[in-house]
Amino acid sequence: MNKRSQVLSMFQHGALALMCAAAIIPLYWMVISSLKNESEIFTASLFPLQPTFGNYSYAFSQMPIVRMIFNSFGVSILMTVLQLATGLLAAYALVRWRFRGKSLIFALLSVTWLIPFQAIMIPNYVLINDMGLNETLLGIVLPFGVSTFAILSLYQAFQSFPGVLIEAACIDGLSDWGILSRLILPNIRSTVASLGIIQFINAWNEYLWPMLVTKDMNSAPIQIGLKLFVNSDTNMWGSLMAATTVSCLPILLIYLVLRRQIVDSFIRFGIK
């Protein structure tokens, strides 16, 4: 290795290490603070000298954390499943057939990309209230039951599937439902899984809508509960960080297991 490339390599690692530090230090500080006892929490020590789980037990006693995590899982799984189901059906129709109004449908789907949630929140809020679905998980899920992002992503995935195979299966007498569920789906499993991961994470992190629908901690997802706890304006920073750690934990654990796949799926599908 010559001198120039050594310098370059050092610069590379320096830049990256700096970025990693910036990404990780806030998280490190969260975990460390959650383990410090009352006298230590206001000091700048880099690790707890007498680690304690007292903050966790206080946080769990102050709000129904288990219940809220459970709510979050319920909302996120239901949303993801609904979005994938409606998306698969719609994308199949768009790939498989030529029919009247198809270009209009594409135009309508693309427009949703530009609709900010603030432009539909009031009618949706009123409707959910009229249906009596406020403070329910279904109320959080319903408006997000379909995602045009999912439809269009699946449409792209379907397009790369060889049409000849579909024709052949059709001649074989396989019904359209059979083609979708037994021919296409098994072949694009990984795409659907990647998309599912993204939709799950997005659902888990959703903020504005769950905040409008739920006010009570027992029916709220963990994000909303955490927000209520943050705003309760106590100076209990240790237990607040404990609650925050718990709220991050499911996503971080999923990330630990599916690291490569999550990064790849975000690269593939981008964000919305």
Partner 1 sequence: MSKTMEELYSPLVKGKQKAAARNWNSSKLWRKLKPYLYLLPAAILLGIWMYKPLIHTFYLAFHKWSMVPGTDKLFVGFDNFTRLLQNEAFAGAIGNTVFYTLGLLPFSIAIPLVLAVVTNQMNPRMKNFYRALFFIPMILAPVSVSAIWRWLFHPSNGIVNHLLLKLGFVQEQIAFFSDASWAKWIILLITGWKMLGFSTIMFAAALTGINREYYEAGAIDGAGSFRQFLYITVPLMSPMILFMLTMSLLFSSQWTFAYIDILTTGGPYGTSTNIYYEMYRFAFSNLNVGVSSAAAMLFFVLFGLIALSLNAVSRRFAFYDN
Q: Which of residues 193-212 bind partner 1 (CB under 8 A)?
A: 201, 204-205, 207-208, 211-212
Exactly one of 44, 104, 164, 257 binds partner 1 (CB under 8 A); which one? 44
Single-letter residue type at 28: Y
Q: Which listed range, 52-60, 61-69, 125-133, 156-164, lies at the site for partner 1 (CB under 8 A)?
A: 125-133
By CB under 8 A, tell whether 122 contacts partner 1: yes
Map the footprint of partner 1 across residues 84-103, applying CB under 8 A: 85-87, 89-90, 92-94, 96-97, 99
Measured CA to CA, the distance from residue 135 to residue 140 in angstroms comes to 8
- Nearest Cα to Cα of residue 219 among 160, 161, 147, 139: 139
Measured CA to CA, the distance from residue 73 to residue 216 in angstroms comes to 17
Measured CA to CA, the distance from residue 74 to residue 107 in angstroms comes to 32
Q: How far is CA 255 from CA 138, 194, 198, 259, 270, in A?
A: 26, 12, 11, 5, 17
By CB under 8 A, tell whether 30 contacts partner 1: yes
Exactly one of 138, 146, 169, 188 binds partner 1 (CB under 8 A); which one? 146
Exactly one of 20, 49, 107, 165 binds partner 1 (CB under 8 A); which one? 20
Q: Which listed range, 60-68, 155-163, 182-190, 261-269, lies at the site for partner 1 (CB under 8 A)?
A: 261-269
By CB under 8 A, tell whether 129 contacts partner 1: yes
| Smallest gap from residue 83 Cβ to partner 1 (A) | 9
Exactly one of 149, 157, 262, 265 binds partner 1 (CB under 8 A); which one? 262
By CB under 8 A, tell whether 7 contacts partner 1: no
Single-letter residue type at 14: G
- Nearest Cα to Cα of residue 110 among 148, 154, 146, 158: 148
Say if CB 150 and CB 84 are below 8 A apart. yes
- Nearest Cα to Cα of residue 138 among 33, 56, 210, 51: 210
By CB under 8 A, tell whether 176 contacts partner 1: yes
Q: Which listed range, 54-62, 80-88, 155-163, 183-191, lies at the site for partner 1 (CB under 8 A)?
A: 80-88
